Amino acid sequence: MLTGVNFFATILKMRAPGMSMMKMPVFTWAAFCTNILIIVSFPILTVTVALLTLDRYLGTHFFTNDMGGNMMMYINLIWAWGHPEVYILVLPVFGVFSEVTATFSRKRLFGYTSLVWATIAITVLSFIVWLHHFFTMGSGANVNAFFGIATMIISIPTGVKIFNWLFTMYQGRIQINSAMLWTIGFIVTFSIGGMTGVLLAVPGANFVLHNSLFLIAHFHNVIIGGVVFGCFAGLTYWWPKSFGFMLNEKWGIRAFWFWIIGFFVAFMPLYVLGFMGMTRRLSQDINPEFHTMLMVAAGGAALIACGILCQVIQVFVSIRDREQNRDLTGDPWGARTLEWSTSSPPPFYNFAVVPNVVDRDEFWDMKEKGEAYKRPAKYEEIHMPKNTGAGVIIAGFSLIFGFAMVWYIWWLAIIGFVGMIVTWIVKSFDEDVDYYVPAAEVERIENLHHEQISKAGVNHVN
């Protein structure tokens, strides 16, 4: 939750000069809305865990049937947090796909404003759809109808995004590489997952399909097809910026095809099995009629395993051949946003001079004007925060505290709790938290970057 506050405040108050909210990259908008979700939804989880802790250690009865408790209150609270959490997972990758699509279509994002408002709409609507996870629990027809309609409505802004990406590709000079393949694969798989989700939003259909493998297939359609494919696209796209060399494309493309084929072979049979009545989680004698579909699904899982193996090989080969695949320019894709104006990897201070933003695709605009690598007359020292290990130490004590509480090891729990508090107090009195990078050091680092750019001869739009 505190991390959400950190990112929210940073995006709201520390943007570059000239970067209004409607000039932010869509990825930044996605991160902004994600952190709003974190700030608003995680207190629900905090309260739920606190009440559960009281039940467990002090004998209260918030979530038990004894003494007036209510188990369904626990389910409601968990999903009131849990469904916004689904969008905490998926909104950032929507931002990733927006950046990848624009870069490799060689054109501006279609409908930037509608993309932003669709992201905001999803953020708001994600808080009024949680009950579709338990239509069968007896909340009543009116309540089920409200949440069913809300769930259908939230598919509309998601559909807007799909069409934005498709129209961005339309008549673009599309470059097919592994990052773009993950994006195209996402559009197909996530669309199927979205349509099956709308079906599950109908309470009557949900009563039939709830707790069946149809639900499992739907969930994997949206999480693997959305979140996992998005992570792979983002990893491929920003890898050279993070590590200074490109990932091997041949192994990346092989991994994609194993993944996408394996995904459909593994999960499409589960939709059929759900219609046939196979349930999840329950101990049961498997109907022999299910065996064929289950074997097909197992084959798909094996193909996915081959895809994962290809990705491991991809990383190994890329590291082995990193000198041949160095990104000397900082802009290997001909991208549009400002992070690509820095070296790869970026200097620890990010920008020697904070750019003044005049366009949504600021770096692309700078390249068109021939100003992408314009240097200041004089470099200035840069104010930087010092690194600290306090977060890691607090996390370690938190792990000890949580482990000890689960197993009733009170002396260890006390050590973990006291360790957290002491670290917080010590860190709060530490006033040596910043330093300045000398202008000469900034100039030296920037000179190295510009020497590489000059050798590469890159100062224009690709």
What does the domain layout of the chain look like in residue ranges?
Answer: 1-175, 204-326
Render pLDDT for 359-368 as a digit per residue (tens, 0 to 9). Answer: 999 999 999 9
Establish whether the linkage from the previous residue to 345 is cis, with ω within 30° of 0: yes
Q: Which two tokens stand for residue 338?
A: 């400002």
Model pTM score: 0.94
**CA neighbor of 337 nearest in space, from 316, 321, 359, 317:** 359
The amino acid sitting at 186 is F
Render pLDDT for 253-265 as a digit per residue (tens, 0 to 9). Answer: 999 999 999 999 9
The confidence band for 395, taking pLDDT boundaries of 50, 70 and 90, is very high
Contacts of 371 (CB under 8 A, 6+ apart): none
pLDDT value of position 458: 64
Render pLDDT for 80-134 as a digit per residue (tens, 0 to 9). Answer: 999 999 999 999 999 999 999 999 999 999 999 999 999 999 999 999 999 999 9
Averaging pLDDT over each range in 54-58, 135-139, 295-299, which range is the top one? 295-299
Average pLDDT, the chain: 95
